[in-house]
Every structure is written in C-alpha cells, then in structure tokens.
Amino acid sequence: MSRSTVYSANAVTLSFAGQNIDSGRGEDEFLRIEQSEDDFAYKAGVDGEGVFSENRNRYTVVTVTLLQTSAGNDVLSAIHNASKLLGGSTAPIYVEDRNGTSKLVSDAAIILKTPDETYARDAGTTVWTIGVHNPQRHVGGH
C-alpha cells in the first residue's frame, strides 16, 4: 500500500532565544538550514589507497526569510541588538517539523549581521542569517 502525507509550512517551529517566530514568513522559502562543511573528506594516494578523514566542525547557518511587515523582524532585531550590547551573546535555537521528524537544536546561536533592507512599490522580504554552533540535527521524513 502506498503512503500518503500532508505537508504544512505552518507546522514548522522556529524558536530563537525563547521566542517563537511563527508568522510573517516569506512567500516561498522561509527557512534554510545549511551545514558549512562536509562531515568527511577523502584523500587518495597515487597507488589507489584512500582514507576518509572525519571533520567535527558542524557549524550551520540558518537563514530565515520573513515578510518585510512581519512582527518577527522586531523580535529578531531586539535579540540581535541585545546580543551586540552584551558583546556577542549567544542564545538557544530550536527548529522542528511538527508533522514530521526533522529537528535542529543548539544552545549557542547568534544572528550574524543586521539584515539588508529594501523598499519598493510592493512589500518585500527581510533575510536573517543565524550562525549555529554544533547543532544536533535529524533530517527526517514528513
């Protein structure tokens, strides 16, 4: 028997510094999670012998895209401004697909920069980049 599921973008939870960012998401891709480096590297010798080397750097960037009018921008601005005033204070981050099994959690994340702003005839989006130290991740099904 074939399997059937239902995807809902509204079932994706993003919590940063204890604040849920749950409305005003961008019109298309609103969340991207990218690990910066591969988990393993490979090197081959001229005779064909090879070796895999483990890379324990799990640094990940979470990109959040919100509508320009989203109240989430105020929340993230307040978190970022407080972090800067404290000399670069990190905060916990949590992402979960509540209809699936994908999760990301870390106790040390920081907004990397104040986002760029644009103003045009129509409302646009604001893109936030959050650096995440050593997250625990599970990329699962939905």
For residue 72, the domain's CATH number is: 2.30.110
Q: Is residue 70 part of a domain?
A: yes
Give the phi and the psi of residue 121 in degrees, each rounded to 5.
-60, -45
Is pTM, for the whole model, over 0.95? no
Give me the pLDDT at residue 141, please. Answer: 87
Q: Which portions of the chain are predicted below pLDDT 50? A: none
Neighbours of 50 (CB within 10 A): 9
pLDDT at 2 (0 to 100): 84
pLDDT score of 11: 93
Which pLDDT belongs to residue 1?
Answer: 76
Other CB atoms within 10 A of residue 118 CB? 9
- Number of structural domains in the chain: 1
In a domain, 109, yes or no: yes
Q: Which domain holds residue 52?
A: 9-138
- What per-residue confidence (pLDDT) applies to 101? 94
What are the backbone angles phi and psi of residue 3, rounded to the nearest 5°? Answer: -95, 145
Would you state the pLDDT for residue 52?
97
